[in-house]
Each structure stands twice: as structure tokens, then as C-alpha cells.
Amino acid sequence: MTNLAQNLLDSASQHPERPALRMDDAELSYGEFRDAALGVAASLRERGVQPGDRVGLVLPNVLAFPVAFYGALLAGAAVVPMNPLLKAREVQYFLEDSGARVVVTLEATAGPVREAADVVGAEAVVVGPASPAELMAAEPLDAPVERDGEDLAVILYTSGTTGQPKGAELTHANLSGNALTTADTLAENTADDVIMGCLPLFHVFGLTCGLNTAVLRGSLLTLIPRFDGAKALSVIARDRVTIFEGVPTMFAAMLHSPGDGEHDVSSLRLCVSGGSAMPVEIMRSFEERFGCTILEGYGLSETSPVASFNHPHAERKPGSIGTPIRGVEMRLVDDDGNAVGAGEVGEIAIRGENVMRGYWERPEETAKAIPDGWFRTGDLARTDEDGYFFIVDRKKEMIIRGGYNVYPREIEEALYEHPAVAEVAVVGIAHPELGEEVAAAVALKPGAAAEPDELREFVKARVAAYKYPRHLWLVETLPKGPTGKILRRAVEVPQEVGTR
């Protein structure tokens, strides 16, 4: 049996009374978690979900997410997690592309999800945050559906700078292996650990390093539906959290929280940072203030996600993403796939048990991304004499805003829907707390008129709140290359906006 959900059954049989999931006053033991997930699995089977079918989850970090996630896996389905901030047009695309039969959400996000599900002919099921009772059959599934290690477990949507988002196919073996390596060699966690679940579970970092690793070890995962620095500190103190995982903006928010001295956070033994580069000053200040170690790592949706790390018992180099994890190889290559020399900058290529099966129903994109068994990340880096990797820049023009990926092309497409817009270039500009902020330069059609505020609101109505450009300005024309392609990196950002 290689179904990832077997980890839940094993942990529940070993210590059914041990607390598994907590969200403020709501709590599930491992036995209750298992029974609820088996109830979800039975309900999905009754609704016609067959092994290999896709089930969408549009849920924040509430107890219903882990229960529905493991329930879908127990039924043999593959899960398509989605950000609950998405608008109907975005959800519709993911449902259409994945062919999901059922999509699960909360009442708060039911409007756009139902609208999208109706268009594509999927069934929308609205559940409560503390329990997906509406998706639980009276008679639970008696045994999990067997899955092969190479069978699909999760489709995570990601995108390049061109074209529509594409689904990274992560298998049961991908996710099981990455969770085991995280538990064994990075977090070194046991059943006695309490893991902080404030990273979104619909994102691969929170899903693997938070949920799946906790379930594997029988640890407690304590959830925060919406991150807030002061709330996180209070939960760390209340639940005696031992492992905190976050993106740099979360560490900064806790560090700058006005009430940080009120909470006893002495239980923290390890903090894990990923998603974007951790500013060295924030790392130093956080460790000094809270008396714990921060280990920084690197990964992508396509690599389940962890690929490299500053390992616990090795030298830690601030500013570095460390060295490859167990079962993974990394190297730097030029545009032709040839290895570059020591100290030279090249694109990170990854090979190993963590690399996705491919992009969902996109064989050409898969061949381009993994031309020779090595996944091309689009990230440029160099290595030092000890083999530690240092990110230099992104080859792709993706923007990372507060740990969330924003793809310029998607925002540009939304702006092009405005009748006055002729040309658009969306770029990232430096932001002291979020890392990057989304900005847009817009050229209008001859004779057309539109104000920046109007255009900003137009996009805001069409994409998730974290994606729309906070900075938007009008230009006569945009810089172009010899073929007429708009050059995002040559866009001049007005001085009052900031620098890239």
C-alpha cells in the first residue's frame, strides 16, 4: 500500500487519543481525524468519485481541510487545492483544466465556487470549518483504496510567464518521500512535537512540511486560518509550539508585533523558512529575540517542495538555500543544459524522488521543463566551495509577494480585458516587508482614457486580492525587443513608486 493516507491510518492506530489537529477551541484526536476522513472517503465514493478522479478543495487552514484532503486520498482521488481568495473565473479555470468532479468549500467562499462549479458541471459541497460533516457518509469507508507510488495524489497549479497556469502532478511517492525526509533529517520531529500550521495548506510548503509531516509522525498540527503576527505568538505560547514554519514575511510580522513580549515562546526549538529569500537581518533579529534557530530551505511546487536546505547538523550559511536533501541532486546548468563551472551563475536543475511526474495533460510543457530527467527551475544561482547554493535571481519573471506566487502574465491578461488598454507590463518592485509588490505599467489605446485607480479596481475585481497591482502608472509606450516582445525587465519604475 503506497497511498499517502496510510500514514494517517498508522498514526491513528498507534495513538488514537493523541491530539492531531487544533484550531482554537476545536480539536480532533488522531482517532477522530481518521474516522472523519474515512467518512469523507465513503461520501465521495457515493457521489461517483472513482480512483484517479480529481477533487477540488477551496479551503483555508481550518480543520475541514486536512479531513477532506485525507478523505479524498483514502477514496483514491487526486486533490486539487485552491486558494480560497480566488475569484469565480480563476476557480472555473482550475476545475475545467483538472476535470474535478467535486469541489469542497466553506460558506464564506461558496458564491464564486458554486458559480464556477455550475459552469463546468462539477458538484460544489459546502462544509463547516470545524468538520466537513456535510461530506461525511454515515458508514465510513472500511479500507483505503490502494494506490501505486506513481499514481497521482495532488495537482498543484503553477505558471510560467506565458500561457495559462499548469498543474504540477505530484505522486503519492513524491509527497511521501518529501514528508519523510522533512521529518527525519530537517525538522527531526517526533510525536511529541507541536507544529504551527499557518502556512496555507493549499500551498505545497504547508501541505508537505506542515500537514503531511505532522501526520507521518503523529505530531499535533495547530492551525491559524488567517495569519497574524500577534495571533501566531499567542498560539505558540498556548499550544507550546515546538516547530514553526513560515515565509519571511511571517517572521517579520511576529518580530514587529507590538505584543511580542507578552507571550512565552520558549517552547520553540526550530523555525523553518522558505518561499522566498530570508533577509539576513530579520533572521538575526528573530533568533536573538525568540531564542531559536531558523533553517532556510528551497523548493518549488514541482519538487514536492523541498529540494535543498541548511541542515540541522551542518554549517548554516545565512543567505544560502543550503545543500540538496536526501534523495535529491542539484546542479547548475547553462541554457544548453551543460554544467557551469564553480563560482559561475547557472540555472538550478533538480533530479530526484521529489520531482513531479509532469504537468497535467501538457506533454510539451513537461518535456520543456524536464528535457533530460533534470527539472529546470528557472532560478539562477551560484555555489561556493562547500557546495552551498545561493540564489542570484529568477530566470522566470514570477513575483513573490509575501510568500505568494504572482505570475505577471495572469495579471496582464486581466488588464487587457479593459477596453482602453493597449499594452501592459507587470513587474515586481522591492518591498521591505512583503519582499516584492506587484506593479503595472499600462499604455492606453489611441484616443482612449482611463485613470490608474479605475484600472486598479478593474483588476482587483477579477483576481485574488494578493495579486492585483498596488502600483499602476500610465506610459506612452512600453520597451520592446527586436521581435516586438515587451521587455518587462526594461520597464522604468517611476521614482515615487520605488525601484525594482
- pLDDT tens, position by position, 175-220: 999 999 999 999 999 999 999 989 999 999 999 999 999 999 999 9
Mean pLDDT of 343-353: 94
**How many CA atoms, within 13 angstroms, populate the side-chain half-sphere of residue 90?**
25
pLDDT in tens, 7-57: 999 999 999 999 999 999 999 999 999 999 999 999 999 999 999 999 999
pLDDT at 279 over 80: no
Please tell me the predicted confidence (pLDDT) of residue 282: 82
Return the C-alpha cell found at 113: 465556487
Return the C-alpha cell found at 70: 485525507
Q: How many CB atoms lie within 10 A of CB 138?
A: 7
pLDDT at 483 over 80: no
CA distance 107 to 109: 5
CATH architecture, domain defined by 399-497: 2-Layer Sandwich (3.30)
pLDDT at 167 over 60: yes
Please tell me the predicted confidence (pLDDT) of residue 277: 77
pLDDT in tens, 412-428: 889 988 999 988 999 99
Please tell me the predicted confidence (pLDDT) of residue 71: 98
CA distance 165 to 90: 10
Going by pLDDT thresholds of 50, 70 and 90, the confidence category of residue 164 is confident
User: Omega before 305 cis (within 30°)?
Assistant: yes
CA distance 1 to 4: 9
Going by pLDDT thresholds of 50, 70 and 90, the confidence category of residue 162 is low
Please tell me the predicted confidence (pLDDT) of residue 159: 62
Cβ–Cβ < 8 Å for 40, 72: yes
Cβ–Cβ < 8 Å for 219, 172: no
pLDDT at 303 over 90: yes
Going by pLDDT thresholds of 50, 70 and 90, the confidence category of residue 484 is low
CA distance 405 to 237: 30
Please tell me the predicted confidence (pLDDT) of residue 223: 98
pLDDT at 364 over 50: yes
Domain ranges of the chain: 5-379, 399-497
Return the C-alpha cell found at 32: 477522530
Please tell me the predicted confidence (pLDDT) of residue 498: 60
Gyration radius from the chain CA atoms: 22
Return the C-alpha cell found at 463: 483576481
pLDDT at 385 over 70: yes
Mean pLDDT of 312-338: 94
pLDDT at 253 over 90: no
% pLDDT > 90, the chain: 79
Average pLDDT, the chain: 93
Measure the CA angle with vertex 181, ends 400 and 204; round to 5°.
30
Tell the CATH superfamily of the 5-379 domain.
ANL, N-terminal domain (3.40.50.12780)
Going by pLDDT thresholds of 50, 70 and 90, the confidence category of residue 500 is very low
Mean pLDDT of 382-405: 87
Mean pLDDT of 89-96: 96
Quick one: three-class SS letters along the chain?
CCCCCHHHHHHHHHCCCCEEEEECCEEEEHHHHHHHHHHHHHHHHHCCCCCCCEEEEECCCCCHHHHHHHHHHHCCCEEEEECCCCCHHHHHHHHHHHCCCEEEEEHHHHHHHHHHHHHHCCEEEEECCCCCHHHCCCCCCCCCCCCCCCCEEEEEEECCCCCCCEEEEEEHHHHHHHHHHHHHHHCCCCCCCEEEECCCCCCHHHHHHHHHHHHHHCCEEEECCCCCHHHHHHHHHHHCCCEEEECHHHHHHHHCCCCHHHCCCCCCCEEEECCCCCCHHHHHHHHHHHCCEEEEEEECHHHCCEEEECCCCCCCCCCCCEEECCCEEEEEECCCCCECCCCCCEEEEEEECCCCCEECCCHHHHHHHCCCCCEEEEEEEEECCCCCEEEEEECCCCEEECCEEECHHHHHHHHHCCCCEEEEEEEEEEECCCEEEEEEEEEECCCCCCCHHHHHHHHHCCCCCCCCCCEEEECCCCCECCCCCECHHHCCCCCCCCCC
pLDDT at 399 over 50: yes
pLDDT in tens, 119-151: 999 999 999 999 999 999 999 999 999 999 999
Q: Widest CA span of the chain, in angstroms?
A: 71
pLDDT at 163 over 70: no
